[in-house]
Amino acid sequence: MTERHNRILELLATNQRIEVTMLSDLLAVSQVTVRKDLDQLENLGLLRREHGFALFGSIDDVGKRMAIHYEVKRRIAREAAALVEEGETVMIESGSCCALLAEELANTRQDVTIVTNSAFIANHIRHAPYSKVILLGGQYQPAAQVLVGSITRRSAEVFFSDKFFIGADGFIPRYGFTGKDHLRAQTVRDLVEQAQQIIVLTESEKFFHQGSEGLIRTEEVSMVFTDDNIPLEVETNLRQKNIDVRKVKS
C-alpha cells in the first residue's frame, strides 16, 4: 500500500463514490495512474469499480470497513501480529482489523496457519507469499463474506488454538463487546470454546457505539488492541478486570 492508496481510501471513506477525474485532480496524477491504483485496490477487495467511478460496496462489506481509518487499523494489526509465533495455528474472525492481521501474518510469517470463518480473509490473502488458510464451512452471508451457523461450529470443533482474534461493533461497560448480527455473534461465541486466549482488535471509535447483540463478555477477554483515543473510563474498566490493553497511535 502506498501513501496515494491510503489517500484514495480516505477520500472514498468521506465521499462513498468518487469520479476518476476528480481523484486525478485531487492527487495531482494522471487518470492512467489513478486507474492503475484503483485496479490494485479493487484486487485487494477494498473498493469496487464502475465506469468512471470508484465506490465502496455495502455497509456490511469488509473491504469498505477496512478502508475507514485504514492506517490506525493497520497499526493495530501489526501490533497484534507480534504475538503470533512461527508454527502457531490461530483463529481469526471476520472483521476489518482482523483481515489486516491475517494479511500481516500471511506476508511475514512463513509457518502460521489461519483458521477463519471469513471468506473475505481467505480471498484477501490468497496471493500473499505465506498464505496458509483453513476456511470453515457454514451458512454463507454474501454481504459480509462470512460463514456462520451450526455447520461453522461443527467445522471448528476439530481445531484448538491458543489465540482467537475477534473484532467488535460496539461496547457496553456492564457486558462487554457487542456485534450487530445475531448469527455472526453466535458463531463467535461458539468459536470461543475452541481457544485459550481471546484477543479483541478494534479502533477506539467502537467504544462509543453499542451493538445490538452480545458478542463476548469482558471477563472472557485476555487482551485488547486499540488506539490511544480509547475513553479513559473504558480503559480503566478493562485494566481493572486484568485485561491487557495495548494502544497504537491514532
Report whether pLDDT(46) > 90: no
In a domain, 63, yes or no: no
DSSP 4: H
- Number of domains, the chain: 2
**DSSP 8-state symbol, 85:** P
**Do residue 130 and residue 223 come from a single domain?**
yes
Query: b/e string for 139-164 if b means 16 or more Cβ within 10 A?
Result: eebeebbbbbbeebbebbeeeebebb
pLDDT 10s digits, 187-208: 999 999 999 999 999 999 999 9
Q: What range does the domain containing 32 cover?
A: 3-56
For residue 67, pLDDT beyond 70: no
Residue 120 inside a domain? The answer is yes
* In a domain? residue 65: no
Residue 22 counted as domain residue: yes
Indicate whether 234 and 110 sit together in one domain: yes
154 shares its domain with 191: yes
Per the model's pLDDT, the better-predicted residue between 2 and 76 turns out to be 76
Please indicate, yes or no, whether residues 169 and 199 belong to a single structural domain of this protein: yes
Q: Does residue 66 form part of some domain? A: no
Mean of pLDDT values over 162-177 = 94
| 36 and 137 inside one domain | no
Q: Give the CA distances from residue 159 to residues 164, 168, 246, in Å, rounded to whole numbers and listed in that order.
A: 11, 23, 27
Angle formed by the axes of helices 70-81 and 96-108, to 10°?
50
Mark whether 226 and 181 lie in a shared domain. yes
Specify whether 236 is located in the same domain as 168. yes
Average pLDDT over residues 80-101: 95
Q: Are 99 and 128 in contact (CB under 8 A)?
A: no
Q: Does the structure show a pLDDT above 50 at 59?
A: no
Indicate which CATH number applies to the domain containing 45.
Answer: 1.10.10.10
Are 27 and 136 within one domain? no
Residue 26 and residue 81 share a domain = no
Kindly state whether residues 38 and 160 are assigned to the same domain.
Answer: no
Q: Is the pLDDT of residue 63 over 70?
A: no
Residue 62 lies in a domain: no
Give residue 43's pLDDT: 82
For position 244, which CATH number holds? 3.40.50.1360
Predicted TM-score of the model (pTM): 0.81
Rg (CA), the chain: 18
Model confidence pLDDT, tens digit, residues 100-129: 999 999 999 999 999 999 999 999 999 999
Tell me: pLDDT of 184 over 90.
yes
Give yes or no: residues 88 and 187 share one domain. yes
* Same structural domain, 49 and 113: no
Percent of the chain's residues with pLDDT above 90: 74
Q: Is residue 27 in some structural domain?
A: yes
* pLDDT (0 to 100) of residue 16: 74
DSSP designation for 30: -
Angstrom CA distances, 96 to 86, 110, 203, 232, stand at 23, 22, 10, 24
- Cβ neighbours, 10 Å, residue 92: 29
68 inside domain: no
Q: Report residue 14's pLDDT band, with 50, 70 and 90 as the boundaries.
A: confident
